[in-house]
Amino acid sequence: MEELKKTTKKATTKKAAEKTVAAKKTTARSTAKTGCKTTAKTGCRTTAKKTAAKKPAAKKAAPAEKISPFITEVDQYLFGMGTHYEIYKKMGAHLTEKDGVKGVHFAVWAPNAEYVSIMGNFNNWDSSANPMTRLEPMGIWEAFIPELKTGEIYKYYLHTKNGWDLEKADPFASSAELRPGTASRVAETEDYKWTDKTWMTKRESFDVDSCPMSVYEVHPGSWKRHPLNEDQKEYEAFYNYREFAHELVDYVKEMGYTHVELIGMSEHPLDASWGYQVTGYYAPTSRYGTPEDFMYFVDYLHKNKIGVIVDWVPAHFPKDGCGLAEFDGTCLYEHQNPMQGEHPHWGTKIFNYGRNEVKNFLIGSALNWIEQYHVDGLRVDAVASMLYLDFGRNAGEWIPNQYGGRENLEAIEFLRHLNNIVKERNQGALMIAEESTAWPLVTGDPKDGGLGFSLKWNMGWMNDFLEYMQLDPVYRKFHHNQMTFSLMYAFSEKFMLVLSHDEVVHLKKAMLSKMPGELEEQFANLKAGYAFMMGHPGKKLLFMGQEFGQWNEWNENKELDWYLLQDEHHQQLQNFVKALLHLYQKNPALYEQDGSWDGFEWINANDGDRSIFSFIRHSKDSKKNLVFVCNFTPVERPDYSFGMPEKKRLKLILDSADPQFGGNGMEHAKTFTPKAGECDDKPYHVDFPLPAYGVAVFQY
């Protein structure tokens, strides 16, 4: 925490930093570090090779003073302090003009390289054609190449101090070559004409505590695809960002979601990694188009009042030879010691969160997505793996912190700094933690020892819910507390309830396939489960395909089984989910008091013998409160009654017996007046015949 306070007190504006540089110019520190022998890598245009002698004099860089200072001393100082929050405007490849000539400026951080140059089609991949100049003291290399334009592909060639020749993609690139190519691509990201000013202004007042959030989790490459003929290539099946924008908006608006969360948006080499092994932290994946195309996607969703959240992966990165691993022949971005720098189970590298430049690289990436691409939030992947030094390790395989504990103090400071600066610079932007342990105050204020996230995925609820839902109904009465336990901690964090992609892959089965019983029972089970989820406190997230009953596990290589909607059972399930989502948006009782017992009241949490749950969601003004009743057995309850705390007339606003949802068509009165007489420890009660797997929602 002290380090965070010190960091935030440092110069973060150009004017303040210039004063600091002038005062400390003679004492500027060098950040060059050595160690970590580079090994041969694959996946690049050529394999790294060791040379017998140093590079010839012709390949030595020109003196720094001969290069125009696009990267200034202030830039270097702020980067070294970890507070250059607009580093994405300086590093990487940028279209610019020098002495009246247009071209591209390149800048890369490689303090332990002896020689760095730029290679591409424009110079026939000649490593001696365009050498870069080293800037001191940070070891940033820069060069200007005249007349280069958008679309050129390139890599950095590095000759290292330990004699290796490496070809690396640009860590700060805005775009990349379509896989399986691994080069970076020059792209213009600052000239797009945004039309979402109304949305961005309104976002500043977005309050996650009291606003609705129902999120549709989507993998763009497998939501829908174009049909292919034998002569076409696989990537031609993808919807591009612009096509995807229009198709997705139409569907999301019809269904009633408020946000979409996109999987696999950062550039990554392997489709099967789903985008969780990132090589381009500043680049929207080229699978679906250019950075400008992605901007159009976000812009179009905003114009249609739909928020955009992107998955972001600061926990680890792959060992691909053209990526960040041992970038300049040393462990530049990762820890040198494998006990700190590698995930033993994932086969990936761990960022060195104690190094200011690495923290700046990651924070700059986060701000790039939010400020440059206007996304409304980041879902931060695998936070637990960042917080614990012993994550995935056995005794003796990890190094304790300075106090002997297993907490990763450097990662904790990084996360606090990250969340603090994102919120400070972008009011209303969301930082959402996928954190699977009981780490305290994940959404707490850093001033109070918290991590500062906006929301935390409620993994505990998800696990309990799914275990209960997969049980044969005859056994559910013995596991009743699995559905009620989450209310014991529901307000300890700001939670999002999730049924994510992770739960419908790797032989876990799709949501519908998890349900017990015969065909119609499976659909009825799932409807009851979704209704319970919608009524439970917390924001909502549902992975694509589960809203209409995908039978098969998610496969990133094919589109969803949309043909299933020709079957009435799947159409009825989709109708039910749509009704729930619109019900959610229209009723503040379901979202405006998510973080407090003021918004929730059990009617009966202990009706285990009948496996029925009944509860009230309260609005702030006590108008349009909602009563939920959910029956999780195939047994009809014609004599069912539930208690009410007051004698207010109820209106039935959602009934699973409705034929449009696949119900039995049982006729019910539409309004009910509670009768005097104790029930469920309440002074009044309502008689309501509850069907098998019946769900009823009342408003009063």
pLDDT in tens, 316-370: 999 999 999 999 999 999 999 999 999 988 999 999 999 999 999 999 999 999 9
Dump pLDDT digits (tens) for 40-87.
Answer: 333 344 334 444 334 443 344 433 334 456 899 999 999 999 999 999
φ, ψ for residue 106, nearest 5 deg: -115, 140
The interaxial angle of helices 241-255 and 291-303, nearest 10 deg, is 20
| pLDDT top residue among 521 and 18 | 521
β-partners of residue 238 are 225
Helical segments of 82-219, H only? 197-203
Report pTM.
0.91
- Residue 68 to residues 73, 109, 141, 373, Cα–Cα distance (Å): 12, 17, 12, 29
| pLDDT top residue among 387 and 37 | 387
Give the angle 142-144-146 at the CA atoms, nearest 5°: 165
φ, ψ for residue 602, nearest 5 deg: -70, 135
Dump pLDDT digits (tens) for 375-420.
Answer: 999 999 999 999 999 999 999 999 999 999 999 999 999 999 999 9
Handedness of CA 626, 632, 636, 637 (dihedral sign): negative
| pLDDT top residue among 26 and 182 | 182
Pairwise CA distance, residues 303 & 298, whole Å: 9
For residue 432, the surrounding DSSP H or E stretch is: strand 430-433
Spatial CA neighbour of 4 closest among 465, 513, 386, 356: 356
pLDDT at residue 37, rounded to an integer = 36
Pairwise CA distance, residues 510 & 495, whole Å: 23
Q: Using alpha carbons only, how large is the chain's radius of gyration in Å?
A: 28
Contact 148, 104 (CB under 8 A): yes
**In angstroms, how far is the first alpha carbon of the chain from the final one?**
47
Reported as a pLDDT band with limits 50, 70 and 90, residue 33 is very low
Write down the catalytic residue from 167, 381, 464, 594: 381
Is there a catalytic annotation at residue 381? yes
Region of 31 on the Ramachandran plot (φ > 0 left; ψ -120 to 50 alpha; else beta) = alpha
Which tokens is 365 given? 């990436």
Write down the catalytic residue from 434, 435, 464, 680: 434
Is there a catalytic annotation at residue 561? no
Residue type, 582: H
- Average pLDDT over the chain reads 91
pLDDT at residue 648, rounded to an integer = 95
Pairwise CA distance, residues 692 & 687, whole Å: 16
